[in-house]
Amino acid sequence: MAVLKDARREKFVQNLIKGMSQRQAYLDVYPASKKWKPESVDTKASHLAQEVEVKARFDELKAASADDAILTRKQRMVILSQLADDAVQQGKTRIQAIDVLNKMDGEYVKKIEATVSAPVKETAAAVAAILNE
């Protein structure tokens, strides 16, 4: 969904995404409502927030901001690398950071490659024997 055509509605949604309450967002967008009773502002703000296009835009922006908040694999690895490399950190913290990095890189995984030309039962028995080593 694109930006709402009504600039006030768009700003209302943006204010909600920033963490304002519905009342605060409404008062910011409709300054004349500052003269109203708080209950009236709340009612209008609630109705506006429930309008289909406003709600859809809010949900879209909320999902986008959640995606932006998630660290990428590379970002996580950089943070862990900094912890592991930081001499100020306690040894346990550094070791844990290295351990997690190793897990992310698959360092602890035993990789087995095989070309199978025997019957399935024989192959399964051979694989089981390798895994039991």
Cα–Cα separations (whole angstroms), residue 112 to 108, 109, 124: 13, 10, 13
CA torsion 84-86-89-95 (nearest 10°) is 20
Q: Which domain holds residue 113?
A: 71-133
Is residue 38 domain-resident? yes
pLDDT of 11:
97
Give percent of the chain above pLDDT 70: 97
User: What mean pLDDT value characterizes the chain?
Assistant: 88
pTM assigned to the model: 0.54
Is residue 2 domain-resident? no
CB 3 within 8 A of CB 10: yes
CA torsion 68-69-73-78 (nearest 10°) is 110
Is residue 47 domain-resident? yes
Q: Buried b / exposed e across 32-42, counting CB within 10 Å, b at 16+?
A: ebeeeeeeebe
Q: How many independent structural domains does the chain possess?
A: 2
Q: Are 75 and 117 in a shared domain?
A: yes
- Residues 39-87: tens digit of each pLDDT: 999 999 999 999 999 999 999 998 888 777 777 888 888 988 998 888 8
Is the pLDDT at 36 greater than 90? The verdict is yes
Q: Which residues contact 29 (CB under 8 A, 6 or more apart)?
A: 8, 9, 11, 12, 15
Alpha-carbon gap, residue 133 to 129, rounded angstroms: 7
Is the pLDDT at 111 greater than 80? The verdict is no
